């Protein structure tokens, strides 16, 4: 059996063959696991912080315009809802936003004859209260007949194939520096046009204006993530090293104390013969004191008898050694 164990030890790697090597291997495994855990926790912490701190950059929704009729000769209007029945709000209260409208309108003669017209947006709460409103003038881009003819001629193949169309995109900035309210958040918007613009489609855009740390975290995601994760790893490693050193010092002191108690001889127990103070006046204390005195007298008498017996034995030995006269 001993020969089998020795041969097995020789076959094991060097770092498992001695006590120092085993300790090094265990520490290597623990260090690798600690580094992996710290790195994973740092990445998870950054992802959670990014999700909570950086809001959505762009919110957009289609606008379905309601054109006036003969029965209702009003402005062209539309109501846009941003939240569902289960949502309470969709904007961050600590973030500034810009609101814009985008129209895709054909370059028709009717749109060219409209001239300037007003576009309005009202941001409302769930109760219909207007939080902020904006009105802006706009018009279709003007092109002279010669320019339009040249553009049509150059784009004629694309127009014939259906790849391009004769339309213009109108982008109108409506509100700048919008801050949502915590107790009365924006839930929907009302869009209105002073003249019936012919459109292929329209949409409202609410875009966040990132500044400071949010700007760096969104537009420079990789460098910011590396810096944040590295700082989190360093902080956690320092904390882990301090905690490890404290635990090692405490464990070393505990082992040293246990070794000292194991190496020290057992302490002699001295039985007090007399008691002083108020406790000695109690009956139990008197009985214990009398018992101690009797034990002390008995031990003294035994030691005296043993010493006298020893002296007698020595005298007898001396008498045997004296030659007879």
DSSP string across 44-94: HHHHHHHHHHS--SEEEEEE--B---SS----EEEEEE-S-TT-S--S-TT
Q: Could you tell me the pTM of the whole model?
A: 0.65
Q: Using a pLDDT cut of 70, give the percent of the chain over it.
A: 69
Which DSSP state fits 163?
Answer: S
More confident residue, 61 or 159: 61
The confidence band for 162, taking pLDDT boundaries of 50, 70 and 90, is: confident
Q: Is the pLDDT of residue 319 over 50?
A: no
Provide the mean pLDDT of the chain.
79
For 204-240, write each residue's pLDDT tens digit.
Answer: 999 999 999 999 999 999 999 999 999 998 888 888 7
pLDDT band at 246 (very low <50, low <70, confident <90, very high): confident
pLDDT in tens, 54-77: 999 999 999 999 988 766 667 789
> What would the DSSP string read from start to end of 173-238?
EEEEEEE--SSS---EEEEEESS----SEEEEEEEE---THHHHHHHTHHHHHHHHHHHHHHHHHH
pLDDT(273) > 80: no
Task: Report pLDDT digits (tens) over 174-198.
Answer: 999 999 988 889 999 999 999 999 9
Query: The tokens 């040293």 sit on which residue?
Result: 256
């Amino acid at each position: 059996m001993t020969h089998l164990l020795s041969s097995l030890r020789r076959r094991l790697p060097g770092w498992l063959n001695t006590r120092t090597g085993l300790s090094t291997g265990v520490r290597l495994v623990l260090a690798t696991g600690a580094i992996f855990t710290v790195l994973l926790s740092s990445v998870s912490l950054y992802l959670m912080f990014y999700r909570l701190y950086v809001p959505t950059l762009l919110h957009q929704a289609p606008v379905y315009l309601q054109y006036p009729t003969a029965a209702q000769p009003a402005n062209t209007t539309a109501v846009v809802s941003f939240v569902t029945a289960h949502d309470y709000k969709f904007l961050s209260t600590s973030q500034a936003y810009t609101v814009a409208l985008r129209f895709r309108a054909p370059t028709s003669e009717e749109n060219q004859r409209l001239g300037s017209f007003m576009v309005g947006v009202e941001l409302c709460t769930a109760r219909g209260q207007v939080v902020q409103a904006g009105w802006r003038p706009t018009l279709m881009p003007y092109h002279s007949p010669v320019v339009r003819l040249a553009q049509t001629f150059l784009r004629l193949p694309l127009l014939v194939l259906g790849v391009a169309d004769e339309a213009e995109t109108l982008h109108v900035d409506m509100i700048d520096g919008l801050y949502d309210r915590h107790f009365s958040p924006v839930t929907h918007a009302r869009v209105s046009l002073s003249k019936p613009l012919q459109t292929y489609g329209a949409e409202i855009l609410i875009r966040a204006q990132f500044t400071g740390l949010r700007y760096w975290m969104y537009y420079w995601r990789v460098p910011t993530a590396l810096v944040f994760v590295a700082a989190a790893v360093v902080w956690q490693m320092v904390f882990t090293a301090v905690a490890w050193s404290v635990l090692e010092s405490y464990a070393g002191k505990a082992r040293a104390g246990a070794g000292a108690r194991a190496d020290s001889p057992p302490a002699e127990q001295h039985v007090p013969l007399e008691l002083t103070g108020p406790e000695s006046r109690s009956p139990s204390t008197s009985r214990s004191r009398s018992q101690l005195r009797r034990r002390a007298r008995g031990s003294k008498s035994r030691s005296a008898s043993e010493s006298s017996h020893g002296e007698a034995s020595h005298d007898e030995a001396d008498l045997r050694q004296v030659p007879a006269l």
